[in-house]
Amino acid sequence: MAKDMKRGATDMPPVGAISDEQVEDVLTPDQQTMAGTATAISTSAGVPASTAAGAEVALTLWGDVWRRLRKNRLAIIGLGIVGVLLITAVFAPLIAPYDTNDQRIDVASRCSGPCAPTLKHWMGTDQLGRDQFSRIVYGARVSVIVGVFAVGIALALGLALGALSGYFGGAIDALVMRIADVFFAFPYVLAAIVLIIAIGQGVGSIVVAIGIFAWATIARLLRASILSTKETEYVEAARALGANHWRIITRHVMPNSMAPVIVYATILIGSAILTEAALSFLGIGVVPPTPAWGYMVNAGKPFLTTRPYMIIFPGIAIVFTVLGFIFLGDGLRDSMDPRLR
């Protein structure tokens, strides 16, 4: 029986020698050399680490995530797509061969509308003779801006309200969650349309509309995550040390509650880009001369059967971008979920 063994262990060393010597004995190998230390720890850590798999966590959050993400092929593909998108958006003037608003009536009239892809315009031109490839390259800018800023707004609102709600609970929690319920009750795109009509068309409006309607999910996710984190013993230890709420939230609760939010935010960027495309397709998104993928799909609509390349290329851009973010988000989920470790 454990108690018996324990007693035995306690009583084993000779009288008087128990305290200092014993402690020292156990630790000297540790303290001698760094090399000795490493082995000592790895061997002694073996048992507890395997019994509590969930507790074996990150070096730093990102270092550990990256180690596991690297092994996930789909996530790396997603990361690649996202990387290409960002590079395209940032260096659009260097990549695009033509001016996006360079209307070539001669080209358009020669093809009587959009031209098919050629070597010069390898994604073709639109009904106004503008180079499709250049427009898709510049369209990446709109997508990135909408994705980043809309999710930025959603994160700012969602993290602040979710943290308040989850950490403090009670009346604050009830209030925030009921407001979130109201936002959940709106049909997302419909609400965005109403908002855009109210505050006017443009990239800014789309960003605000998406940001305002996406925070609720983030707040809920963070709240749920905090509810479990705030009950942990290290948070209790921090309270026992006299840490104030701000310190507990920023140093202890948030870093250990962020994983699901980071995953969701990544996927949300893709979904925001998709929403922007949908709004632009409906004609209430980006204001026309600005190249945007959804708007380009809309422009190609009349030529769907005759000149499908009008829709195919911006469509592919949308699909791949969104997929890229979803793959990345999925990969992050796998590498951040402690249960899958």
Partner 1 sequence: MSNEDTPRKRTPSAAKSGARKSPAKATARAKTPAKAKTPVKRGAASRPAKSAAPRPSIREMSGGATVTDPAPTQPAGTFGEELLRVEHLVKHFPVLRGIIFKSKVGTVQAVDDVSLSIRQGETLGVVGESGCGKSTTARTVLRLLEPTSGAIYYNGQDIVKFNKDQMRRLRREMQIIFQDPFASLNPRMTVRSIVSEPLVIHGIYEKSGGAKYVADLLERVGLNPEHGNRYPHEFSGGQRQRIGVARALALKPKLIICDEPVSALDVSVQAQILNLLEDLQNEFGLTYMFIAHDLSVVRHISDRVAVMYLGKVVEQADRDTLYERPMHPYTQALISAVPIPDPQKERDRKRIILEGDLPSPLNPPPACRFHTRCWKAQQICRDVEPPLEDHGNGHLVACHFAEEAKVL
Which chain residues interact with partner 1 by CB under 8 A?
A: 1-11, 15-16, 18-20, 22-24, 26-27, 30-31, 34, 37, 41, 44-45, 47-49, 52, 55-61, 174, 232-234, 236-244, 247, 251-252, 255-256
* CB-nearer residue toward partner 1: 217 or 256: 256
**Minimum Å distance from CB 268 to partner 1?**
24
Residue 31 host element (H or E): helix 19-32
Q: CB of residue 6 vs partner 1: minimum separation in angstroms? A: 5
* Cα–Cα distance measured from residue 256 to residue 107, given in angstroms and rounded to the nearest whole number: 58
Place of tokens 């790895």: 42
Distances from the Cα of 40 to the Cαs of 18, 25, 43, in angstroms?
22, 13, 5
23-29's contacts with Cβ under 8 Å and 24+ in sequence apart are none
Q: Which is nearer to partner 1, 10 or 109 (CB)?
A: 10
CB atoms within 10 A of CB 321: 26
Cβ distance to partner 1 smaller for residue 12 or 94: 12
Q: How far is the CB of 16 from partner 1 (least distance, A)?
A: 5
**Residue placing its CB nearer to partner 1 in the complex, 112 or 244:** 244
As a whole number of angstroms, the distance between CA 263 and CA 334 comes to 9
Between 182 and 240, CB nearer to partner 1: 240
The two structure tokens encoding residue 317: 């851009």
Token match 């707004």: residue?
Answer: 153
CB 181 → partner 1: shortest distance, Å?
Answer: 11
CB of 59 to partner 1, least distance (A): 6
| Residue 5 or 94 having the CB closest to partner 1 | 5
Chain centroid to Cα 325, Å, comes to 8
For the chain, how many residues are written?
A: 341
State how far Cα 213 lies from the chain centre. 17
Q: Find the shortest distance in angstroms from Cβ 75 to partner 1.
A: 22
